[in-house]
């Protein structure tokens, strides 16, 4: 009888513990996500935007536009090009790369619009609000993508307990 329970226990353990199926995304997709995550984490745009926002807070909108055009917008363009250059090993990685490129390009366009509005001064409140909202939404989209990439790369840290 003990032998029967031992065999049954061993069978259950092998069935539950010996699964050869990998958990989470395949390593190639994790590598794709890692490359994109590193690109998004190396973000010089945010510092330049903060400097522009400080100028606007000091009632110097034209200086804010200059800071955007001198720092944030060129950095945003470089980041879009770097994202386009990322090679992905999986179809999912290609789709993620395309999403990252679109999100970064949306941010670049929003920053250009923000700079255009700032160059005219703080006289067009509605346009300024629209430009700020577009820029913040673009940043939110990038943050969301970064979270998704982190979840792909480290699924064990994001699984429910």
Radius of gyration of the chain measured on its C-alpha atoms:
24
Residue-range definition of the domain harbouring residue 58: 27-153
Is 83 a domain residue? yes
- What 3-state class would DSSP assign to 43? coil
Q: Structurally, how many domains does the chain consist of?
A: 1
Q: Which residues are CB-contacts of 158 (< 8 A; sequence separation ≥ 6)? A: 150, 151
Tens-place pLDDT, residues 110-155: 999 999 999 987 766 788 888 889 999 999 999 999 999 999 988 7
Is 54 a domain residue? yes
Is 3 a domain residue? no
Q: Which two tokens stand for residue 78?
A: 């470089």
Is 127 a domain residue? yes
The per-residue pLDDT for 123 is: 67
Tens-place pLDDT, residues 40-69: 988 889 988 999 889 888 888 899 999 999
- pLDDT higher than 90, residue 27: yes
The per-residue pLDDT for 79 is: 96
Backbone region of residue 121 per phi and psi (left: phi > 0; alpha: psi in -120 to 50; beta: other values): left
- Among residues 146, 131, 74, the alpha carbon closest in space to that of 108 is found at 74
Query: Which pTM does this prediction carry?
Result: 0.77
Is 17 a domain residue? no
Give the mean model confidence (pLDDT) for residues 31-36: 95
Q: Which two tokens stand for residue 113?
A: 């619009």
């Amino acid at each position: 009888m003990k032998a029967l329970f031992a065999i049954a226990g061993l069978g259950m353990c092998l069935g539950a513990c010996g699964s050869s199926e990998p958990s989470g995304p395949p390593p190639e997709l994790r590598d794709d996500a890692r490359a994109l995550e590193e690109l998004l984490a190396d973000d010089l745009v945010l510092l330049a935007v903060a400097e522009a926002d400080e100028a606007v807070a000091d009632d110097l909108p034209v200086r804010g536009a200059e800071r955007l055009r001198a720092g944030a917008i060129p950095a945003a363009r470089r980041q879009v090009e770097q994202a386009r250059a990322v090679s992905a090993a999986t179809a999912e990685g290609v789709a993620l790369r395309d999403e990252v490129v679109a999100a970064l390009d949306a941010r670049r366009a929003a920053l250009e619009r923000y700079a255009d509005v700032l160059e005219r001064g703080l006289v067009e409140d509605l346009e300024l609000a629209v430009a700020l909202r577009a820029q913040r939404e673009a940043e939110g989209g990038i943050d969301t993508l970064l979270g998704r990439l982190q979840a792909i790369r480290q699924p064990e840290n994001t699984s429910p307990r």
